[in-house]
């Protein structure tokens, strides 16, 4: 690696910090930045797509858990799997995925087409 390029990389890093330091990201303790509110505490239920990407999709279709998209598994079965923790799967509680979110998520998975890039194990 040339000295010029590596200096450039370093400079980018420094610049990023300098710029951020000038922005008002630091907040007083107790202040609330944009809230992250999973579960029922959320003012709006999260979309099935978002929940699938942030939770289910790390295992299902990712070589860890079985593929569930495109198999038209019944909504009620999916809901029970999630709450019970089917087989080797962890259980997810209403404090993590609200009842409203779970019903929508399971209905969405039941209807969903297969995702070609997913693979089971």
Partner 1 sequence: MTTVSRREILQASALSAAALGAAALAAPAMASPLDHARMLPEGLPPREFAAAVAELRAIVGQQWVFADADSTLPYTKSLIPDPDHRHVPSGAVAPASVEEVQAILKVANRYRLPLWPISTGKNMGYGMATPASSGQMVLDLKRMNRIIEIDAELGTALVEPGVTYQDLRDYLDANNLPFWLDVPTVGPIVSPVGNTLERGVGYTPYGDHFFMQCGMEVVLADGTLVRTGMGSVPGSTSWQAFKWGYGPYLDGIFTQSNFGVVTKLGFWLMPAPPAYKPFVVQFDEMDDVAKITDTIRPFRMNNLIPNGVLIMGAAYQLAMFHRRADFWTETRQIPDAVVKAEARKRGLGMWNTYFALYGTDEIIAAVEPIVRGAFEAAGGKVLTATEMSDNPWFRHHASLMKGGMTLEEIGIVRWRGTEGGMVAFAPVAPAKGTETRGQTALAKEILAKYDFDYAPAYAVGGRELHHIIFLLYDKGHPAEERKADACVREMITRFAERGWAAYRTGVSTMDLVAQQYGDANRALNARIKHALDPNHILAPGKQGIA
Q: Which of residues 57-86 bind partner 1 (CB under 8 A)?
A: 58-59, 62-68, 71, 73-74, 76-81, 83-86
Nearer to partner 1, 45 or 55 (CB): 55
Q: Which of residues 2-31 bind partner 1 (CB under 8 A)?
A: 3, 5-6, 9-10, 12-13, 16-17, 20-21, 23, 25-31
Q: Is 68 exposed, middle or buried (0-12, 13-18, 19+ CB in 10 A)?
A: buried
Q: Is 105 exposed, middle or buried (0-12, 13-18, 19+ CB in 10 A)?
A: buried
Cα separation, 106 vs 108, whole angstroms: 5
Interacting residues of 113 by C-beta distance below 8 A, sequence separation 6+: 69, 70
Binding region for partner 1 (CB under 8 A): 1, 3, 5-6, 9-10, 12-13, 16-17, 20-21, 23, 25-41, 54-55, 58-59, 62-68, 71, 73-74, 76-81, 83-96, 99, 102-103, 119-121
């Amino acid at each position: 690696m040339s000295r010029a390029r590596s200096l450039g990389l370093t400079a980018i890093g420094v610049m990023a910090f300098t710029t951020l330091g000038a922005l008002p990201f630091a907040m007083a303790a107790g202040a609330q930045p944009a809230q992250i509110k999973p579960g029922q505490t959320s003012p709006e239920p999260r979309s099935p797509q978002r929940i699938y990407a942030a939770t289910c999709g790390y295992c299902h279709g990712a070589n860890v858990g079985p593929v569930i998209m495109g198999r038209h598994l019944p909504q009620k079965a999916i809901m029970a799997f999630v709450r019970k923790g089917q087989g080797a799967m962890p259980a997810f509680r209403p404090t993590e995925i609200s009842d409203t979110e779970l019903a929508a998520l399971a209905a969405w998975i039941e209807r969903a087409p297969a995702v070609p890039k997913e693979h089971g194990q």
